[in-house]
Amino acid sequence: MQVLGGGRLTGKVGSFDVGLLSIQTGEEESLGAVSTNFTLLRLKRDLLGQSNVGVIFENRSESLAAPGESNQAWGIDGAFVLNDEMNAVTYYTRSHTPGREGNDQSYRARFNYDADLMGGSVDYLVVGDDFNPEMGFVRRLGFRHSSLGARFSPRPASISWIRRMNFHADIGYFENDLDRYVESRDRGGRIELDLENGDGFSLNANDYYEFLSGSEQISGALFEAGRYAYTDYEIGYQFGPQRPWQGDLSVRWGEFYSGERLSVGIGSGRVEVSPQLSVEPSLEFNWLDLPQQTEPGEFDQHVARTRVTYTMTPRAYVSGLVQYSTGSETLSGNFRLRWEWAPGSELFIVYTEDRNTDMLGDRWSELSTRGLVVKVTRLFRP
């Protein structure tokens, strides 16, 4: 989509932090897109040191859900730090889209207690069926989510090689906002060991419940409507930042809906080749054994990813990322340059490319998307 122009304003007016953004896009007949203005206003005020309250307003001049009409969303939010161990966050927001009035609100309240020996959290989130903020993104509509978590973290003086033990228990529910039946539930327990050498060890056990109101495709397989209950386990080891190479090793096994799954992962990997050059490899293998498969390995999904970063100076670096996924049969890559050419002023160049590798004939891939973005910022000081 073509961006014709726009502007951004940030600063402080009295005791309020102010942010204003406006962007105008052009018409694109091949995509069915009309010229649209996007405007956002954000106000925030600090309270009692570390707490704050704020309001937000969004306007899209051409609605996607109601062609020829506009779409708006507004909200109020707050983050409150009660002391060093307790905090709370909350918000209330509504949207306005012609033809989608009614259950067009979303709200949330979360309380968190995080002390050294123990901790816990309570969270409640509601998103209505008609909630439609078209300048944002909502992954799921028409649900109520409730969750509860608890942690106990003793420091055993009698075990010299363990710095801290963390015992976690969590439970979460997704309920249908209108009929209030349980759509999904997850319960889990986790043990984490922080070792004296900086490494970590973890062991998880999780229990899931899913209600599918209709047929749904998950991980490439089609699951029929019905209730599914399953359990899985995971063991992991984390190599700490004290090592020249870092990363997480994990193995996950157990049930997956009406079948079984085995996953092996190497994540958050980082190898310091030199003070300027680093390589971050990541591998994930997922073997699925499902009743729907007609041949072994039909729904297996594997992902390989590598990022290379070279820091030329404290103010400039280049990085490249390459990723291949067997599930989507795509090869993706991007190149990024960042240069702070003056204090607070930066140049960004980003090139991205996605290729489809599920091809026939003598071609190993076909170009799907390609993009180039150049961004220059200049900081003006009074």
322-366 pLDDT, tens digit per residue, is 999 988 889 999 999 999 999 989 999 999 999 988 755 566 678
Q: 48: phi > 0 → left, psi -120 to 50 → alpha, else beta; which?
A: left
Burial 14-32 (b: 16+ CB within 10 A, else e): eeeeeeebebbbeeeeeee
Spatial distance between the Cα atoms of 8 and 357, rounded to a whole number of angstroms: 39
| pLDDT computed for residue 309 by the predictor | 97
3-state secondary structure of 176: strand
Cβ-contact 181, 211 below 8 angstroms: yes
Tokens of 202: 């973890």
For the chain, the average pLDDT equals 92
Cβ-contact 76, 89 below 8 angstroms: no
> Checking DSSP bridges between strand 118-127 and strand 105-114, what pairing results, if any?
antiparallel
Q: What is the DSSP code string of 45-89?
A: EEETTTEEEEEEEEEESS-SSSTTS-EEEEEEEEEEE-SSSEEEE
Cβ-contact 234, 256 below 8 angstroms: no
Residue 295 CA: distances (Å) to CA of 223, 292, 330: 17, 9, 22
First to last CA, the chain: 36
Low-confidence ranges of the chain (pLDDT < 50): none
| pLDDT computed for residue 364 by the predictor | 66
- Tell me the chain's radius of gyration from C-alpha atoms: 25
| pLDDT computed for residue 58 by the predictor | 97
Domains and CATH numbers, the chain: 98-376 (2.40.160)
Spatial distance between the Cα atoms of 106 and 123, rounded to a whole number of angstroms: 14
| pLDDT computed for residue 30 by the predictor | 76
DSSP 8-state code for residue 33: B
| pLDDT computed for residue 178 by the predictor | 87
| pLDDT computed for residue 363 by the predictor | 61
Spatial distance between the Cα atoms of 131 and 19, rounded to a whole number of angstroms: 24
- Residue 256 β-bridge partners: 259
Spatial distance between the Cα atoms of 107 and 100, rounded to a whole number of angstroms: 18
